[in-house]
Amino acid sequence: MVADRQRRLEKDAVSLLEAIALRAEAGRRVHGESARAVLRSIVEATVALFDAEAASIALYDAASDRLVFEVAAGEQGQGVIGLSIAPDQGIAGYVFRTGQALALSDVEHDSRFGRAVAEQTAYLPRSIVAVPLVSDERTIGVLEVLDKRGATTFSLRDIELAAIFAQQAATAISATRVERDVASLLASGLRALAAPDDPERATVEEIVLAATAGLGRDDDSRLWVLAEAVAGVRMADPAQLELVTEILDALARHAGRETRRRRRSRPGRGDPSEPG
């Protein structure tokens, strides 16, 4: 029967989508943590190389429109983690908004510089170098190094070295964004399956909802432990995106065929000609 076939197809599609969404989310989690570990090791290396009091990385969070300090290293660095600042204020804001690296010293003489942040972290630096994190032509955050021990200022070479570390950090972050893109590709691909005027749109949306429901981000169920283990093995698999694309293509072809067939066999639910 057509209705049975339809239900079976939807069930299969939901299972398939669940599997993809699960893997994408697991990948995001695993890579998110590994990216944070990479960022942490980058700021630690920065502190060691510069012999600095602190180094930190702030990333732009579009949802809150803030620059959020994600990781920090060095004796004086820890207090800054989790703080956020407006993206057009202060040194980090200037570097973020203009993409222009700069170094400042004698900052304790400046009346307001960093005081708001310093009050929260109980540390006011004497000198600071800030360089942008650039990924895909966009500035996504800022790397800062505070107080090089044994020198009162940062040199031009220091700025360039900091830029190299920032480049590494940006590369690590863009790798995790590919993972996040898998999930959004999945969702947008599914929405694209249904044209806006398609009477079957609701069904597709239901599929999306069913597939992504229960993908809570913070539960520690055994399912996640397993999924993360699987994702760990599959980490950095470049075929993943291709696979999702192929599945979506196949689904689109299938859904297109089904929709055409259903339209021939019965009017759509939204069809105004349907007698009431």
Partner 1 sequence: MELDLPAWSEPFVGERRAELGHLGPFGALDRDVAFGGSDGSGVRVAIIDSGVERDHPAVGGRLVASYRVEPTDEDPIVVEDPDAIDVVGHGTACAGIIHSLAPAAELISVRVLGPDNRGKGSNFAAGLIWAIEHGVTVANLSLSSRSEAFFGLFHELTDEAYFGNVLLVSAANNVPGPSYPSLFSSVVSVAAHDVADPWTWYYNPRPPVEFGAHGLDVDVAWRDGGRIVATGNSFAAPHIAGVAALIRAKHPTATPFEVKAMLAATAGR
Place of tokens 């069809």: 271
Asked whether position 63 contacts partner 1 by CB under 8 A, the answer is: no
Helix, strand or coil, per DSSP, at residue 183: helix
List the one residue from 68, 124, 159, 187 that touches partner 1 (CB under 8 A): 159
Helix, strand or coil, per DSSP, at residue 65: coil
**Alpha-carbon distance 141 to 165, whole Å?**
13
Geometric angle at alpha carbon 39, from 99 and 171, rounded to 5°: 55
Q: How many CB atoms lie within 10 A of CB 82?
A: 10
List the one residue from 15, 64, 78, 98 that touches partner 1 (CB under 8 A): 98
In the bound complex, what is the minimum distance in angstroms from residue 149's beta carbon to partner 1? 17
Q: How many residues bind partner 1 (CB under 8 A)?
A: 39
Tell me if 44 sits within 8 A of 235, measured CB to CB. no
Residue environment code for 262-272, b if the CB has 16+ CB neighbours within 10 A, otherwise e:
beeeeebeeee
Q: Which of 60, 169, 184, 79 is nearest to 123 (CA)?
A: 79
In the bound complex, what is the minimum distance in angstroms from residue 245's beta carbon to partner 1? 24
Which residue, 137 or 219, has its beta carbon nearer to partner 1? Answer: 137
Asked whether position 91 contacts partner 1 by CB under 8 A, the answer is: yes
Give the H or E element holding residue 193.
helix 156-193
Kindly indicate which of the ranges 51-59, 162-170, 186-194, 236-244 contains the residues binding partner 1, using the contact rule CB under 8 A: 162-170
List the one residue from 166, 186, 204, 251 that touches partner 1 (CB under 8 A): 166
List the one residue from 50, 69, 113, 123 that touches partner 1 (CB under 8 A): 113
List the one residue from 51, 75, 119, 160 that touches partner 1 (CB under 8 A): 160
Tell me if 69 sits within 8 A of 82, measured CB to CB. yes
Kindly indicate which of the ranges 135-143, 174-182, 192-200, 209-217 contains the residues binding partner 1, using the contact rule CB under 8 A: 135-143
Which residue, 140 or 211, has its beta carbon nearer to partner 1? Answer: 140
Which residue, 160 or 271, has its beta carbon nearer to partner 1? Answer: 160
By CB under 8 A, name the binding residues for partner 1: 88-91, 93-94, 97-107, 109-113, 129, 131-132, 134, 137-139, 153-156, 159-160, 163-164, 166-167
